């Protein structure tokens, strides 16, 4: 396993549309391992491969692990798709490892049904609600070059982008 650098706004790679994974290879499994290590180190509860500059449709997630609770439930989602979504919406204060120290309320469907391939190559379907629904939608957005700030008003989005463009210009690194 290796720690990978998480890219930060305004890195243009965050706007790429990630490519489908054709086969679950050793390289994909190694990338997933690196993503888990980088996600836990951040710390975060989800991570999309594009956030470590790998434009492939791979997500890692662990909604269980908390500092010191000794539990974890690492999950990987390859080529995830939302196949249905509830009309009922849910608001969650979201953050993003690629937009550090900025949080905002985002409204998303409260429940989604997803189809994905796991690291053993099995195609699965699963219902998600609560934080799982929010997180998987946030991560699938990343695979499509969409950031949670894109769900905010243009004014708020422009303010955030301007702040991170200014920080990048002055070489301010978020650690
Ligand atoms: O994609 C990412 O940047 C990972 C996020 C996933 C996430 C965003 C919003 C809501 C839930 C999950 C990171 O884990 S950011 C850390 C975090 C954790 C819990 C709630 C909000 C943000
Ligand atoms: Zn994010």
Burial 3-31 (b: 16+ CB within 10 A, else e): ebebbbbbbeebeeebeebeebeeebeeb
Determine the pLDDT at residue 4: 98
51-98 per-position pLDDT tens digit: 999 999 999 999 998 877 889 999 999 999 999 999 999 999 999 999
Determine the pLDDT at residue 66: 80
Mean pLDDT within 7-13: 97
Q: Is the CB of 98 under 6 A from ligand 1?
A: yes
Q: Which of 63, 90, 129, 135 to mutate to test the pocket of ligand 1 (most atoms within 8 A of CB)?
A: 135
Least Cα distance to 47 among 6, 91, 83 occurs for 6
Nearest CA to ligand 1 atom 15: 96
What is the distance between the alpha carbons of residues 49 and 60, in angstroms, rounded to a whole number?
8
Determine the pLDDT at residue 171: 83
Look up residue 20 and give its two tokens: 């489908």
Q: Is the CB of 134 under 6 A from ligand 1?
A: yes
| Torsion from C-alpha of 101, 105, 109, 112, nearest 10 degrees | 20
pTM reported for the whole predicted model: 0.95
Determine the pLDDT at residue 175: 52
């Amino acid at each position: 396993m290796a720690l990978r650098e998480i890219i930060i706004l305004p890195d243009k790679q965050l706007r790429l549309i990630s490519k489908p994974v054709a086969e679950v290879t050793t390289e994909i499994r190694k990338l997933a391992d690196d993503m888990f290590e980088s996600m836990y180190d951040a710390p975060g509860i989800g991570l999309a491969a594009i956030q470590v500059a790998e434009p492939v449709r791979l997500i890692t997630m662990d909604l269980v692990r908390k500092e010191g609770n000794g539990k974890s439930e690492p999950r990987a989602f390859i080529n995830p798709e939302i196949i249905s979504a509830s009309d009922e919406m849910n608001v969650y204060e979201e953050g993003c490892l690629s937009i550090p120290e900025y949080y905002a309320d985002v409204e998303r469907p409260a429940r989604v049904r997803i189809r994905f391939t796991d690291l053993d190559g099995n195609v699965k379907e699963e219902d998600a609600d609560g934080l799982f629904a929010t997180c998987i939608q946030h991560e699938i957005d990343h695979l499509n070059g969409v950031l949670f700030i894109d769900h905010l008003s243009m004014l708020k989005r422009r303010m955030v982008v301007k702040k991170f463009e200014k920080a990048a210009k002055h070489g301010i690194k978020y650690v």
